[in-house]
C-alpha cells in the first residue's frame, strides 16, 4: 500500500474509525510499522480527530463551526431591523433621484457636451424684446444667464411657442442664484429653430411647496444655422 493509495482512498481516516476492510487494515498496518513518517501522519490525524471530538463534546466546536461573527451579526434581528430602515431610506432617496433623473432625461441634461455657449437673456418688462440665437449643434449646450431677484430658489421653464399654443420643453427647479445670476443649462438638441419663451418663477423657502411667483418671461428665437 503506497502513499498515493492511502491519500486517495482516505485510508488514514477510515482506519481511525475502523472502516477498512480486513485486507486493507493488514496492508496499512504493515505499511506504517516500518514507516515512521507514515506513523507520524496517523498519530497526528488521530490527535486531530480526538481533539475535534473533544471540542464537539464540550460544545466549543459550534463557535468555530458557526459563520464568522460578522455573518452572525448579519443574521441577527438587530441587523434585520437596521437593514430594513436603511433599505427604506435608500428606496426613498432613490425614488427622489429617479424623479430628478426623469426630469434630466427629458431635458437631456445628463448628456455629455462637446461645447457650451453662454446666452444672456435680459428681460425688458413691458417691451417685446426677443433674443435671437442660431440653432445649436446637437452636441452643444446652451446656458442661459438670467438676472435673479430676491427669491430663495427659482424655477425656469422653457416653452416652445406656436401661435398662441405653448409646449413645455423642459423645467429646471430648485435653482439658486449665484452672484445675482441664475444659470439654466439646455441641451442644444431641444432648441430647434422656432419661437420660445423662458418663464422664470421664484419662491421663498417658507412658502408652501407648490407656491411660485412668476416674475419674468423672456422671448427667444432660434434661427436656422447658416
Partner 1 sequence: MVETPDPALEAQISAELVKRIGLGDRRAEEELVRRYQRGLIYLVQRRTRDPQLALDIAQDTFRIAIEKLRQSPIEQVERVGAFLRGTALNLASADVRKHVRRGTTADSDAVDAAADDAAGPFDNVSREQDKRLVRKLLDELPVQRDREILIKTYLEDQDKSAICEALGVDSAHYNRVLFRAKERFRELLTTAASQRGLKLVDS
CA-CA-CA-CA dihedral for 166, 171, 173, 179, to nearest 10: -90
Neighbouring residues of 33: CB distance < 8 A, sequence distance ≥ 6? 39
d(CA 171, CA 108): 11
Neighbouring residues of 208: CB distance < 8 A, sequence distance ≥ 6? none
The yes or no reply on residue 64 touching partner 1 (CB under 8 A) is yes
Considering only residues 5 through 24, tell me which ones interact with partner 1, judged by CB under 8 A. Answer: 7-8, 10, 12-13, 17, 19
The yes or no reply on residue 223 touching partner 1 (CB under 8 A) is no
The yes or no reply on residue 51 touching partner 1 (CB under 8 A) is yes
**Region near partner 1 per CB under 8 A, out of 25-33, 84-92, 166-174, 187-195:** 25-33
The residue (of 7 and 168) whose beta carbon lies closer to partner 1 is 7
The yes or no reply on residue 54 touching partner 1 (CB under 8 A) is yes
Closest listed residue to residue 149, CA positions, set 207, 81, 200: 200
Neighbouring residues of 103: CB distance < 8 A, sequence distance ≥ 6? 170, 171, 172, 173
The yes or no reply on residue 167 touching partner 1 (CB under 8 A) is no
**Region near partner 1 per CB under 8 A, out of 4-12, 157-165, 172-180, 186-194:** 4-12
Q: With residue 50 as reference, give the H or E element that holds it.
A: helix 36-57
CA-CA-CA-CA dihedral for 49, 55, 59, 65, to nearest 10: -70
Q: Rounded to the nearest whole angstrom, what is the least distance from the CB of residue 21 to partner 1 in the complex?
A: 14
What count of Cα atoms within 13 Å lies in the side-chain half-sphere of residue 98? 6
Q: Rounded to the nearest whole angstrom, what is the least distance from the CB of residue 47 to partner 1 in the complex?
A: 5
CB 155 within 8 A of CB 203: yes
Binding residue for partner 1, selected from 21, 23, 24, 32, defined by CB under 8 A: 32
CB 214 within 8 A of CB 199: yes
Q: Rounded to the nearest whole angstrom, what is the least distance from the CB of residue 35 to partner 1 in the complex?
A: 6
Binding residue for partner 1, selected from 22, 23, 55, 111, defined by CB under 8 A: 55
Considering only residues 86 through 145, tell me which ones interact with partner 1, judged by CB under 8 A. Answer: none
Residues in the chain: 226
Binding residue for partner 1, selected from 20, 21, 22, 42, defined by CB under 8 A: 42
The yes or no reply on residue 214 touching partner 1 (CB under 8 A) is no
Interface with partner 1 (CB under 8 A)? 1-3, 7-8, 10, 12-13, 17, 19, 26, 29-45, 47-56, 60-61, 64-65, 67-68
Amino acid at each position: 500500500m503506497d502513499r498515493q493509495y492511502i491519500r486517495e482512498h482516505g485510508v488514514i481516516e477510515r482506519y481511525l474509525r475502523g472502516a477498512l476492510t480486513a485486507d486493507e487494515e493488514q496492508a496499512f498496518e504493515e505499511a506504517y510499522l516500518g514507516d515512521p513518517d507514515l506513523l507520524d501522519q496517523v498519530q497526528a490525524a488521530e490527535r486531530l480527530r480526538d481533539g475535534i471530538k473533544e471540542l464537539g463534546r464540550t460544545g466549543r466546536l459550534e463557535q468555530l463551526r458557526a459563520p464568522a461573527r460578522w455573518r452572525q451579526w448579519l443574521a441577527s434581528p438587530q441587523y434585520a431591523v437596521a437593514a430594513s430602515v436603511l433599505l427604506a431610506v435608500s428606496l426613498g432617496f432613490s425614488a427622489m433621484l429617479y424623479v430628478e433623473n426623469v426630469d434630466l432625461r427629458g431635458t437631456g441634461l445628463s448628456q455629455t457636451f462637446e461645447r457650451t455657449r453662454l446666452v444672456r437673456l435680459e428681460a425688458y418688462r413691458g417691451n417685446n424684446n426677443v433674443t435671437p440665437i442660431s440653432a445649436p449643434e446637437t452636441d452643444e449646450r446652451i446656458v442661459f444667464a438670467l438676472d435673479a431677484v430676491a427669491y430663495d430658489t427659482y424655477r425656469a421653464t422653457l416653452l416652445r411657442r406656436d401661435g398662441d399654443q405653448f409646449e413645455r420643453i423642459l423645467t429646471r427647479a430648485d435653482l439658486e442664484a449665484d452672484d445675482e445670476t441664475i444659470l439654466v443649462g439646455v441641451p442644444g438638441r431641444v432648441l430647434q429653430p422656432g419661437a420660445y419663451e423662458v418663464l422664470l418663477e421664484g419662491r421663498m423657502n417658507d412658502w408652501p411647496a407648490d407656491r411660485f411667483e412668476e416674475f419674468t418671461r423672456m422671448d427667444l428665437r432660434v434661427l436656422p444655422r447658416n
